[in-house]
Structure 1
Amino acid sequence: MSLIGIILCSLRFPLLLIVYNKLKGDSMRNYSLQEEQANRRRELSYIEDYPDMERFHSHPFRRYLDKRNTEYLVRRKTALRQVNDKAAAMDYQAKVLEAFRESVGQLPAGCTNAYVTGTLDFGSYLIDKVCIETMPGIYATGSFYYPKKRGDGGDDKQLPALLLLCGHSNEGKAHVTYVSFCVEAVTSGFCVLTFDPVGQGERRVRGVEEGEGNESSESNSAWLDPVAAHCFLDQKLSLLGEHLGAYMMQDNIAALTYMLARPEVDSARVGVTGNSGGGTMSAYMGAYDDRVKAVAPCCYITELRSMLYRLMAQDAEQCLPGFMERGLDHSDLVTAAAPKPYHIGAAMFDFFPIDGVRDAFIEAKKLYRLLDAEEQLELHVVMKGHGFWKEMREQVLQFFCRTFEVQWNSENGVDYARLPSETELLCLTVDGSGDESALASGSLLDIVRKKVGSLPVMQRSVQNGAEVRERLNGLLQLNTESELKYSPLEPDQNGSIAFESESGMIITGALHRWSAAESGELQRICIAIGGMNEAELARAKNSGYDAVLIVHPRGTGPAALEPGCTFGMFGPELASGYNVRMLGQSLQGLRVTDVLAAIGSLKQTPGFERAEVTLCGQEEHALTALYAAAVLSGGHSIHSLHAAGLLASFRAFAEAEQHKYDAGIIVPGLLLAFDIPDLLQMLQAELSGSIIVESWLDPMKQPAEPPFDL
């Protein structure tokens, strides 16, 4: 070889080495860039978002929620202030455990079957691809990581094990941070089980993209992101008196049962961890299941009111029904686990507010101290944004090493350039063949459809109106008539009105009046829920109405929350609805309250005492009008109902693959009592006036056939 060739070769080798190292580190380097950008945005948000945040809180509905959330916080802080000795702490913990189990509610029937569909060999460790039957016909697709050699104890030695619960990643168990943690843990001497939550990974939910028509096909269907999938399924379950959180807990418990049955696992040394939504579930499991011996939720524990003030409520399973009504907060989930070793992982620039983390930790620390377990509770804060970053993962792993007496090895030799890929971790395919597994995995939507199908078909006969009203009042969680205080409406010179539908909730609208009433004269009034345009107002006048009262129920139309008030995290309709659900009510029930208050206030207004009221509404507002009419149909407050674009059936809504209705229409448990046609049939017998439904819609807001003749 020539001298020039030798020189070129010597130059080429370092160049090749640089290229090799670049390729090897690309995945982690790209992820580090993502981390850096996320942290920078999150850090700046604490100062840059403040003006917008204060503006958002000037909104009447947001002020109302702030008031309710603050009242909740004062009540629980007052109760906690009385807990000052061990006996009181034990009593408080027992009440927390009972209240948390009530919020979770009854779990669906579970299964204990599991099938390994393949095994991956990564040299020092193996991964079993496992399908865990958590409920009949429902499989959670998971990965069980375990060392190939179990140390000095030989193949019979049992190892500590960790259940890793995933946050809201599309990839589920295959997200790079979760795979990284599993490999880091298994190379440190742990077994690890993780699985796809419903709506993620191999269990993703397909929805229908918005567009013309309502036909579902490959061309117009798409995967829902995890939050949308969770809320979509939760809405359907809510109509049946259930909620997604209970189903996800059943998944968690079945996965833990499977892990404990593995011969590699030491059942006395079992921990649970997770980040974000996985942090939620790990905190739930630490409080719920005594088989868990140590708990490490990350990027979740904070003070609930602090989080609600900053960006409103999270998604379905993170907002258990009645959670706040029962006085519970995140710190209570920590307290419920005492005296288990507990590690709270937090990020300084997380959207889970760091000031709330401080307060939650102080509350939990007080209870742990009174229960003689103060040294078992710890908090570690990383100077980063939301995410299961390497520093946080290392702190969690060191915690479990200390707890389960495993030697911590910072040099675990993880090859981050050769982590298991999403394709390799697929469970519902047979290794190497590309053929689908023989397992027929169902979905929660299948369960919903089966439950709906098992409901008795309502006979369209006239039901007892008093019983229907009583049951509907309970479902909507309405106040009794004696608790409602109404004042006369006082329109300004432009006809605009504002009234208080309940303490602290101001509702706006307008009163358009075309004729004044003589003494004792009957006035025909249309109450337009959601508003009317000029053409509709003209039509109402020509139809003989003396006035139209426009009412904007909270969170709708001009009274809607600004889209940016959740800073891109969740839709305001979902967020406000789940806040209300934790307070023990429903958004639909509150909107019906607004309409009842409008009618009551109108009847107190001079000239309208004997008004003949027709309730009008379109689409979502048609449902609010229907419920209000049904509630009032036994007296003289309501004369007739006029609806346009009315949903034909909630049974069809529950069974549909997708819908275009706002989340606020959901009334928990409605389908266990009656459906829309049943309420209309009852109104036919109760109202003195007419019932007009101009048009019917299916769940995708496409024209539907009338369910029966009015």
Structure 2
Amino acid sequence: MLRKKIKFVCAVCLFFVSLVVKGQDSLLNYEHKFKQPLEKVLEMMQVRYQVKIKYDPRNVKDIMVDYAPWKFRADLVGTEINLLYPLGFKLQEEAKPDTYKLKSYEYNRWKPQEGWDFLNLLSKKYTDQASWEKRKYQLRAAVRQAMYWDKLKSIPDQPIRLGKVRRYADYQVQNFALEIIPGVYINGSIYSPLKQKKNIPVVLSPDGHWPQQRYRSDAQKRFITLARLGCMAVSYDLFAWGESLLQFAGSDHRSSEAMLMQTWGAERILDYVMSLPQVDRSRVGISGGSGGGSHSILMAALDDRFTLVAPVVAMSSYFFGGCPCESGLPVHFVCGGTNNVELAAMTAPKPQLIISDGQDWTKETAINDFPYLQHIYGYYGQQNQVQHAHFPDEGHDFGYNKRQALYTFLLDHFHLDQANAADIIAETGIQIEPEELLYSFGKEGENLPKNAIRGMEQLKVVLKSYQIEL
């Protein structure tokens, strides 16, 4: 009898458990009615917000969206952030009104308002010079740590390899190669005034992702003009670019290792020029364009020996650089988060020139970003030390007008000799050298040192020996 009762109780329990399970299945099935194919969701977005969204059906095939209709918000922007971002997609505005293109999500590119809101949030962390100086001190220490510089600083300096001097009417050029970690070299050319022998100001001159980089004619014009104005202009290759391609593939440039190597290389170059007796250590600047501009901002944030900074078509609160060589290491996550505008503010109260244009992420610099910089410089009573040159009808380049703005800024803030300056900055009578003449290791790389490593795998082994694994 007892066994029959036990069997009966078990049967009743199983019956009720089955009801619960069926109920859960029913609930799950009901909720799954909210799952929609991404292609249908895009159609819903177009109807709801009266826009056109272009996309390749092959890119959205078989992608399902959980709770799709619940993720819609009052406007298209909110829905995009809530619905598309988690799937790795974003909408990019087209030239035609109310028309968008579905693209892969870009971690490094925010919507302008998002960048401005974040910048405003950052600005609430400090209210005067003292609180800003505290923030700046914390940022510099944290950024240096995020760059792994603390693990590389024990590497002893290596002697620079200097090529033959090529002399022209009023300036000279000398190629160099510098071993920055065992087996890794950074190459470039030093442009110097011919007759000036002491108190020479320096301008480190990196460049961005334009074809031919530092070998381009407009780049050479800039370096030569700086030398003719009395500066030492140091141009150098970014990682896996230019002569660095003798050691690494071009694809290696888009890596976190590139961000580390090119900043550490610039630091070693700075160490070298600061050791030269003819250099005026109170006048040391850095000015690059595009990726070289974000590199300039970062270098000035990392090292306070720079006394002037001029990033060109680079600084933005909603764009962090279009390459891992600019944002591949966690520098923007330190101290509760930062961005390139706050990093640029770390130059205050030293002279800084922001150059922007009307066709890229710098087109709205005057709205929030530059006023923020003025506010920070105002803590020191030095608002006139930060300037903004905007070219609304120009695009993403380091063109003639942008170079003119740089020359004028340097003439004023480095107190350069004004005699014949107008003729010099007109860039007339400049002799452009063939690319091969600017190589440090020969036309075919025949002079590459025997200890030079080749490839990312070998680089990772070297970095691992310094407890760096990216």
For 1:419-434, list aligned pairs within 5 A. Answer: 419-429=432-442
Whole-angstrom CA distance in 2 between matches of 1:367 and 1:404: 22
Aligned to 1:319: 327
Instruction: Tell whether 2:128 aligns with 1:81.
Output: no
Whole-angstrom CA distance in 1 between matches of 2:281 and 2:145: 27
Instruction: Tell whether 2:99 aligns with 1:48.
Output: no
Instruction: Tell whether 2:386 aligns with 1:387.
Output: no
From 117, 134, 147, the equivalent of 2:163 is 117
Aligned to 2:27: none
Q: CA deviation at 1:47?
A: 6.9
* Maintained 8 Å contact 1:112/1:254: no
Whole-angstrom CA distance in 1 between matches of 2:331 and 2:115: 11
SS at match of 1:185: helix
Whole-angstrom CA distance in 2 between matches of 1:62 and 1:302: 15
| Matched residue count | 368
SS at match of 2:401: helix
Q: CA deviation at 1:46?
A: 8.6
Q: CA deviation at 1:255?
A: 1.0
Aligned to 2:140: 97
Aligned to 1:336: 346
From 185, 204, 213, the equivalent of 2:226 is 185
Instruction: Tell whether 2:323 aligns with 1:286.
Output: no
Instruction: Tell whether 2:442 aligns with 1:401.
Output: no
Aligned to 1:366: 375
Instruction: Tell whether 2:241 aligns with 1:229.
Output: no
Whole-angstrom CA distance in 2 between matches of 1:66 and 1:267: 38
Whole-angstrom CA distance in 1 between matches of 2:128 and 2:277: 42
Whole-angstrom CA distance in 1 between matches of 2:145 and 2:245: 29
Gaps of 5+ in 1: 1-44, 208-222, 235-242, 457-667, 671-710
Specify whether residues 444 and 364 from structure 1 end up closer, same or farther in structure 2 by C-alpha distance, changes over 3 A only: farther
The Cα offsets for residues 324-371 of structure 1, whole Å up to 9 and x where unpaired, read as 43321111112211111111111122x224124632211121111123
Aligned to 1:108: 152
Q: CA deviation at 1:372?
A: 2.5
Instruction: Tell whether 2:417 aligns with 1:411.
Output: no
Q: CA deviation at 1:123?
A: 2.5
From 303, 315, 322, the equivalent of 2:317 is 303
TM-score (norm 2): 0.69
For 1:518-557, list aligned pairs within 5 A. Answer: none
Specify whether residues 257 and 50 from structure 1 end up closer, same or farther in structure 2 by C-alpha distance, changes over 3 A only: farther
TM-score (norm 1): 0.47
From 230, 235, 242, the equivalent of 1:201 is 242
Specify whether residues 78 and 266 from structure 1 end up closer, same or farther in structure 2 by C-alpha distance, changes over 3 A only: closer
Q: CA deviation at 1:450?
A: 2.7
* Maintained 8 Å contact 2:246/2:445: no
Aligned to 1:473: none
* Maintained 8 Å contact 2:200/2:278: yes
SS at match of 1:139: strand
Specify whether residues 50 and 330 from structure 1 end up closer, same or farther in structure 2 by C-alpha distance, changes over 3 A only: farther
Question: Taking every aligned residue pair, what percent have the same amino acid on both sides?
Answer: 19
Specify whether residues 274 and 454 from structure 1 end up closer, same or farther in structure 2 by C-alpha distance, changes over 3 A only: closer
The Cα offsets for residues 77-100 of structure 1, whole Å up to 9 and x where unpaired, read as 234235333333333333333443
SS at match of 1:204: helix
The Cα offsets for residues 276-306 of structure 1, whole Å up to 9 and x where unpaired, read as 11101111111111221111111100112xx
Letter paired with 1:442: I
SS at match of 1:253: helix
From 136, 142, 152, the equivalent of 2:188 is 142
SS at match of 1:118: strand
Q: CA deviation at 1:377?
A: 0.7
Letter paired with 1:90: E
From 166, 172, 197, the equivalent of 1:126 is 172
Whole-angstrom CA distance in 1 between matches of 2:291 and 2:395: 15
Specify whether residues 420 and 290 from structure 1 end up closer, same or farther in structure 2 by C-alpha distance, changes over 3 A only: same
Letter paired with 2:165: T
Specify whether residues 199 and 51 from structure 1 end up closer, same or farther in structure 2 by C-alpha distance, changes over 3 A only: farther
Letter paired with 2:348: A
Specify whether residues 100 and 51 from structure 1 end up closer, same or farther in structure 2 by C-alpha distance, changes over 3 A only: farther
* Maintained 8 Å contact 2:93/2:101: no
Aligned to 1:256: 270
Specify whether residues 50 and 112 from structure 1 end up closer, same or farther in structure 2 by C-alpha distance, changes over 3 A only: farther
* Maintained 8 Å contact 1:170/1:200: no
The Cα offsets for residues 103-132 of structure 1, whole Å up to 9 and x where unpaired, read as 323353543320112221222211111111
* Maintained 8 Å contact 1:172/1:195: no
* Maintained 8 Å contact 1:72/1:324: no
* Maintained 8 Å contact 2:203/2:285: yes
Specify whether residues 49 and 56 from structure 1 end up closer, same or farther in structure 2 by C-alpha distance, changes over 3 A only: farther
Specify whether residues 315 and 256 from structure 1 end up closer, same or farther in structure 2 by C-alpha distance, changes over 3 A only: same
Q: CA deviation at 1:418?
A: 2.3
Whole-angstrom CA distance in 2 between matches of 1:167 and 1:338: 24
From 454, 459, 464, the equivalent of 1:448 is 459
Specify whether residues 49 and 149 from structure 1 end up closer, same or farther in structure 2 by C-alpha distance, changes over 3 A only: farther
Whole-angstrom CA distance in 2 between matches of 1:175 and 1:258: 25
* Maintained 8 Å contact 2:158/2:180: yes
Q: CA deviation at 1:70?
A: 7.2
* Maintained 8 Å contact 1:118/1:427: no
The Cα offsets for residues 398-424 of structure 1, whole Å up to 9 and x where unpaired, read as 111211111341201744662122111
SS at match of 2:235: strand
The Cα offsets for residues 391-447 of structure 1, whole Å up to 9 and x where unpaired, read as 1112112111211111341201744662122111111129xxx89326334346264
Specify whether residues 272 and 324 from structure 1 end up closer, same or farther in structure 2 by C-alpha distance, changes over 3 A only: closer
SS at match of 1:246: helix
Whole-angstrom CA distance in 1 between matches of 2:464 and 2:148: 23
Specify whether residues 66 and 429 from structure 1 end up closer, same or farther in structure 2 by C-alpha distance, changes over 3 A only: closer
Whole-angstrom CA distance in 1 between matches of 2:114 and 2:297: 25
Whole-angstrom CA distance in 2 between matches of 1:87 and 1:78: 18
SS at match of 2:288: strand
Aligned to 1:173: 214
Specify whether residues 298 and 141 from structure 1 end up closer, same or farther in structure 2 by C-alpha distance, changes over 3 A only: same
Aligned to 1:276: 290
Q: CA deviation at 1:175?
A: 2.1
Q: CA deviation at 1:452?
A: 8.5
Specify whether residues 62 and 130 from structure 1 end up closer, same or farther in structure 2 by C-alpha distance, changes over 3 A only: closer
For 1:155-170, list aligned pairs within 5 A. Answer: 155=197, 157-170=198-211
Q: CA deviation at 1:254?
A: 0.7
Whole-angstrom CA distance in 1 between matches of 2:236 and 2:266: 9
* Maintained 8 Å contact 2:94/2:101: no
Q: CA deviation at 1:49?
A: 6.2
Aligned to 2:447: 437
For 1:460-475, list aligned pairs within 5 A. Answer: none
Whole-angstrom CA distance in 1 between matches of 2:263 and 2:437: 27
Whole-angstrom CA distance in 2 between matches of 1:131 and 1:452: 20
* Maintained 8 Å contact 1:129/1:142: yes
Letter paired with 2:286: V
Gaps of 5+ in 2: 1-91
The Cα offsets for residues 636-689 of structure 1, whole Å up to 9 and x where unpaired, read as xxxxxxxxxxxxxxxxxxxxxxxxxxxxxxxx968xxxxxxxxxxxxxxxxxxx
